[in-house]
């Protein structure tokens, strides 16, 4: 841009108003100079807008993460004793008797047959 300024100054110093060719030439360089300034300004604005868009996206992601964290903060994680009580409530331990009509008479873990009085969960 500094080169354009110096070229423009050199061209306009010796402009003769009666010489139409030199006036047209200096006007042409003036238009070219302003065009380059406009292009440079658009590039700066474009880079600034790109940075602002990226910043806004980062802020939106951070806001979403903060909201999710605050929502999950209200719920307390279940402790081990609570979990074991929940399992026991859903699947109580029972004693095996021969009167039970089970499809399979062996343990699915150790593959042993059930005996009278064995504790099991269904």
pLDDT for position 25: 77
All structural domains of the chain with their residue ranges: 2-73, 80-121
Between the alpha carbon of residue 66 and those of residues 14, 55, 56, 63, 76, the distances in Å are 66, 16, 15, 5, 17
Determine the length of the chain.
Answer: 122
Mean of the per-residue pLDDT values of the chain: 79
Mind listing the pLDDT tens digit for each residue in 44-94?
999 999 999 999 999 999 999 999 888 876 677 789 999 989 988 888 887
Q: What phi and psi, each to the nearest 5 degrees, are found at residue 15?
A: -75, 130
CB of 12 closer than 8 Å to CB of 26: yes
């Amino acid at each position: 841009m500094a080169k354009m300024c110096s070229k423009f100054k050199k061209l306009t110093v010796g402009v003769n108003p009666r010489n139409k060719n030199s006036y047209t030439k200096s006007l042409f360089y003036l238009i070219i100079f302003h065009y380059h300034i406009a292009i440079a300004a658009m590039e700066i604005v474009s880079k600034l807008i790109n940075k602002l868009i990226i910043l806004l996206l980062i802020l939106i992601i951070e806001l979403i993460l903060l909201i999710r964290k605050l929502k999950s903060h209200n719920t307390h994680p279940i402790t081990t004793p609570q979990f074991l009580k929940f399992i026991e409530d859903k699947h109580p331990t029972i004693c095996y008797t021969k009167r039970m009509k089970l499809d399979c008479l062996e343990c699915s873990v150790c593959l042993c047959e059930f005996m009278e009085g064995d504790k099991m969960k269904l």
